[in-house]
Amino acid sequence: MSTLARATGNIGHAPRIGLWALPAYGLLLGLSTWTHQPSIDDFDAYARYITTDVFLISHLGASIFATALAVLGTAAATAFLAHGRAARTAVAGLVLTTIANVFLASTFGSATFVQPGIGRAHLAGTAGMPALNADTAYGPTFFATALTPTFLLIVAAIVLGTAIARTDRRLRRHGIAYAVLLPAFAITGFALQPAQPWTGFALAAATAALAVRLPRLHTT
């Protein structure tokens, strides 16, 4: 019997099922970034995009729901890791992930409900919408609220990935993958947008492997 199995004792079905929230999270990240909105420098194209159903669904059905799945999946993983050799690191990763995703959900909500109204008003001929967009949807408060939790999410991924890798040598690849792919997803959103959805899909594959492997180590 492995050290992890001896330490965790009898874990119920809920954490085993909850682990699958992580690959679902990765899948939604990939789908939500399959298309990207045009630059606000081309405000007509930007306004047309943010008034589409694709924009609305990607934020409501993918981005916001994905933040909930991230917290649930991380909590399930921590249930397995909390009694192992990297228990404190795992709990720290869960706390950081939760805080980051709560703030990120607020930014996704802002985009979902503010930007389409601005876009519709601009397309209807209302003057001053680019300036209003710059002051609200892309104002300094929004950027501070979005960039800070994005950085925190990168830190959270590295911390939780480290906990996974340290818990058992057979989880090392899974932990490294998590610590690399989630930050890569965040960074490519700024630096290499065509690659962003693929990092999300890669995260889904890596965490699916974790969802299979972690419960097996618990019982062997």
Question: pLDDT tens across 163-194, in order?
Answer: 999 999 999 999 999 999 999 999 998 888 89
Distance CA 61, CA 117 (A): 19
Report the predicted TM-score, pTM, of the whole model to 2 decimal places.
0.87
Integer CA distances (angstroms), 29 to 46, 75, 115, 177, 204, in order: 21, 18, 20, 16, 9
Task: Let me know: does 218 contact 11? Beta carbons within 8 Å.
Answer: yes
**What pLDDT does 10 receive?**
56
Residues of the chain scoring pLDDT < 70? 1-11, 218-220
**What pLDDT does 1 receive?**
45
- Domain extents for the chain? 3-219
**What pLDDT does 55 receive?**
87
